[in-house]
Structure 1
Amino acid sequence: MYHHVKKLMYTVNIGDPDPRFGRMLLEQFGGANGELAAAMQYSIQGINCDDPGLKDLLMDIGTEELSHLEVIGTLTRMHLKPTKKDRDAADVDPLVAIAGGGGVNLYNSAGNAWTADYLKITGELDVDLRSNIAAEARAKIVYERLIDFCDDPGSKDALQFLMTREITHMKAFMLALDSLGKPPLSVGLIPPTPGLVDQYFNDSTGEGEHGAVDMTGPWNDEKAFERVDNPAFEPQLMKVDGPNGATASKGQKRPAAAK
């Protein structure tokens, strides 16, 4: 169950409202990397989770994200409030002014409606935790950019709080992923095709007009991979077989669905 306490997780105070900045803040209210998306993603993952400990983690953080939604929503509303009655302010975002009466709604900074397509939910704990780590990293960067565009000390303080919690959640999700004890490249049950999995396809070759050249690093050198240059021109070097260019796995299979 949920219970609302009439107090923000972080008290928000601003100086002069800035409707243009308020429109930017909508990105973290109804955007792809915003607080509602995070709250829904983690909470739904938690509902689906059979592991009691990780279920508790997901519900804890999912619930905290709802509190963050309230903080960012309150901050955004403070900056957008002049659009309700001031014509010049309303011109900054007519959608907010006319359809929303100067308040927040489930839109991003470009006026696009929130969608469940933002959510990454697979039902595989390790995959979902990796998605959550990436989601927190993206949100951290968005908050950082908002801080860079902000001149109001009170707004910056609130954004700093929200940005910091993204790192806290990243740490928790990373520790949860480690607790599963799975190798980093062990995803699902069906193993990858031997040989093929260890080939790196150098598909972008030659020299570009602006100095782009072929590069090597730990991500594609011979310590990690067998490098295949120009596989489009030498497909025989790719370790695949079968009519569709894929080798059928003889490894562990998922249980058949119940009939």
Structure 2
Amino acid sequence: MYHHIKKMMYTVNVGTPDVRFGNMLLEQFGGANGELAAAMQYTIQGWNCVDDLARRDLLLDIGTEELSHLEVVGALIRMHLKPMKENREAAEADPLICIAGGGGVDLRNSMGNAWTADYLKITGELDVDLRSNIAAEARAKIVYERLINYTDDPGSIDTLQFLMTREITHMKAFSAALESLEKSPFSIGRLAVTPGIGSEYFNASTGDGNEGETDMHGPWQSSFGLHPVESEMNGGPGLSIGDIKGIAGPEGRGKQDSGVKAATATDVLTVDPKPVPQTDAAQTGKQAFLRETPTK
């Protein structure tokens, strides 16, 4: 049950209305990284989370708070758009908002595009959804940070800083929830990826660039058990696709599989129309998981 309390989560004050800025603020009302998208995403994820009541509670807590953020953003937008109701020149600056929306908020972004459920990232897999939520909070934080750069109104800046800070709070909460799952950091879903190629960093961007670019190196090539593999175009062995069916060494590289059933969606690049029995495939997936999952 939802209950609305007639009190804003944050008191909004606008000294000098700015229709142009009010239009920009619509991005956080009906945009891809806005408060409605966050509220719907977290709430629906929570409703789907029937096997983990603790994290279900987390998702519903934050999803509900995002609705209160939507109310705050809406109040800020209406204050900035108020001149549209009183000034013809301001109204003509954006006919869509003035004529279609009456100078108020609408579920559209700053470019006038309608809100869509396509903005939502919901998979029903808790660890995957939590990662999406962390990224969503990071994107929203950046949008608020950029919006602050386009206004000099102290009250608007204070409101946006409040909202931006709460995005960071939510990032911390979602990150803690993800870490508390006690799974391998890269164990997505229930089955591990194919052994061998899961640890190969493929150097697929080679050659000297037009502006002095060259092959770069960093921890992304060697951390978490990764090791670099040169492209065949650069004289290297290429990816060990043959490792999927257990062919070791260079003779297995670049060869298509012939009969091993894919355990995950990651493996579909080598699926043959003649799969092995399900029991063998299940055992293959189990062995892959044991080899690829790090021990604590």
TM-score (normalizing by structure 2): 0.81
Q: CA RMSD in A?
A: 2.0
Task: Tell me what 1:54 maps to.
Answer: 55
Aligned counterparts of 2:170 and 2:210: Cα–Cα separation in 1: 42
Indicate yes or no: 2:254 matched with 1:220: no
Indicate yes or no: 2:262 matched with 1:246: no
Deviation at 1:234, TM superposition (A): 6.5
Question: Whose Rg is larger?
Answer: 2
Deviation at 1:230, TM superposition (A): 2.3
SS at match of 1:237: coil
Deviation at 1:221, TM superposition (A): 3.9
Task: Tell me what 1:91 maps to.
Answer: 92
Task: Name whichever structure is richer in helix by fraction.
Answer: 2
- The structure-2 alpha-carbon separation of the partners of 1:171 and 1:223, relative to structure 1 and needing over 3 Å to count, comes to closer
Indicate yes or no: 2:102 matched with 1:78: no
Equivalence map 1:65-214=2 (5 Å): 65-214=66-215
Deviation at 1:233, TM superposition (A): 6.6
Equivalence map 1:8-27=2 (5 Å): 8-27=8-27
Indicate yes or no: 2:35 matched with 1:35: yes
Deviation at 1:220, TM superposition (A): 1.4
Preserved CA contact (<8 Å) 1:201 1:230: yes
Q: Between Structure 1 and Structure 2, how many residues are aligned?
A: 253
Q: How far does the alpha carbon of each residue in 1:156-184 deviate from its partner, in whole angstroms, 9 at most, with x for none?
A: 11101100000111111111111110111
Out of 90-99 and 7-16, give the one that drifted further: 90-99
Q: How far does the alpha carbon of each residue in 1:96-151 deviate from its partner, in whole angstroms, 9 at most, with x for none?
A: 01111101100111111111000000111111111111111110110011111111
Out of 91-100 and 34-43, give the one that drifted further: 91-100
Amino acid aligned to 1:66: L
Aligned counterparts of 2:224 and 2:60: Cα–Cα separation in 1: 41
Q: How far does the alpha carbon of each residue in 1:60-111 deviate from its partner, in whole angstroms, 9 at most, with x for none?
A: 1000000000000110111112123422212332210111110110011111
Preserved CA contact (<8 Å) 1:189 1:252: no
SS at match of 2:24: helix
Q: How far does the alpha carbon of each residue in 1:45-66 deviate from its partner, in whole angstroms, 9 at most, with x for none?
A: 0100121111111111000000
Query: Which residues of structure 1 form unaligned runs of 5+?
Result: 254-259
Preserved CA contact (<8 Å) 1:218 1:224: no
- The structure-2 alpha-carbon separation of the partners of 1:111 and 1:126, relative to structure 1 and needing over 3 Å to count, comes to same
SS at match of 2:36: helix
Query: Which residues of structure 2 form unaligned runs of 5+?
Result: 243-256, 259-267, 276-280, 288-296
Task: Tell me what 1:256 maps to.
Answer: none
Preserved CA contact (<8 Å) 1:205 1:214: yes
- The structure-2 alpha-carbon separation of the partners of 1:55 and 1:38, relative to structure 1 and needing over 3 Å to count, comes to same
SS at match of 1:228: strand
Amino acid aligned to 1:46: G
Deviation at 1:245, TM superposition (A): 4.6
Question: Which structure would you say has the larger RCO, counting Cα contacts within 8 Å and 6 or more residues apart?
Answer: 1
Q: What percentage of aligned pairs have identical amino acids?
A: 66
- The structure-2 alpha-carbon separation of the partners of 1:36 and 1:223, relative to structure 1 and needing over 3 Å to count, comes to closer
Aligned counterparts of 1:121 and 1:58: Cα–Cα separation in 2: 12
Aligned counterparts of 1:126 and 1:133: Cα–Cα separation in 2: 11
Aligned counterparts of 1:199 and 1:23: Cα–Cα separation in 2: 47
Aligned counterparts of 1:198 and 1:188: Cα–Cα separation in 2: 18
Deviation at 1:238, TM superposition (A): 1.7
